[in-house]
Copies of this chain bind each other. A is one copy, B any other.
Amino acid sequence: MNKGLCIWLMGLSASGKTTLARLLAQELDRRGIQVEVLDGDQVRSNLSQDLGFTRSDRETNLRRIGLVTRLLVRHGAVVVVAAICPYKNIRQELRGEIGELVEVYLDCPLEVCIRRDPKGLYRRALAGEIGHFTGLDDPFEVPSRPEILIRTDQENPQDSLHRILAVLEARRILPAPSDLPLP
């Protein structure tokens, strides 16, 4: 069986999580790695329809993602999670729960996220139509020691992808270049 692992892409809305998750999943799939993407928005629509965006509801949602991830990792899957994950206490909990976890913090200035706003959510939040919005009226507690820190306003997604792949090689999830047979 493969060795399971979770790669958690965390950061503000519009920081680039879903884009990078797709790129990463495609590349792992191409290399024959069993991968599962858990996207925050999708999870909300099936496991957490009942939950809103208060701190307590967000925590419950993240714990549910954590539970599913733990089960999958235990059975050898590589799980790519794309979810904001704004609170320190929950990140600590998840690390304890999941075990094999690579935290990837997609750092992107709030003003850049507001300019990108692909789903129009910031516009609605700034107009007062959505409350508890991370980065505006709900906090994002910056990860203090992520395994990978990506400035998505400065680095292109292909470069970010290769930095994540390098960590997976170091952890022997992917064969390191030196493991490959000589030509």
Give residues in A with beta carbon < 8 Å to B. 1-2, 34, 36, 46-47, 49-51, 60, 63-64, 67-68, 71-72, 74-77
Contact = CB atoms under 8 A, between A and B. Distances in A.
A77 B77 CA distance: 10
Contacts of A60: 49
Given A1-B1, A1-B2, A46 B63 contact: yes
Contacts of A75: 34, 36, 72, 75-77
Identical copies in the complex: 2
Nearest to A49: B60
A69 to B, nearest CB: 10
A38 B2 CA distance: 22
Contact of A36 (B34, B36, B51, B71): B71
19 contacts: A1-B1, A1-B2, A1-B34, A1-B76, A34-B75, A36-B71, A46-B63, A46-B67, A47-B64, A50-B50, A50-B51, A68-B71, A71-B71, A71-B77, A72-B72, A72-B75, A75-B75, A75-B76, A76-B76
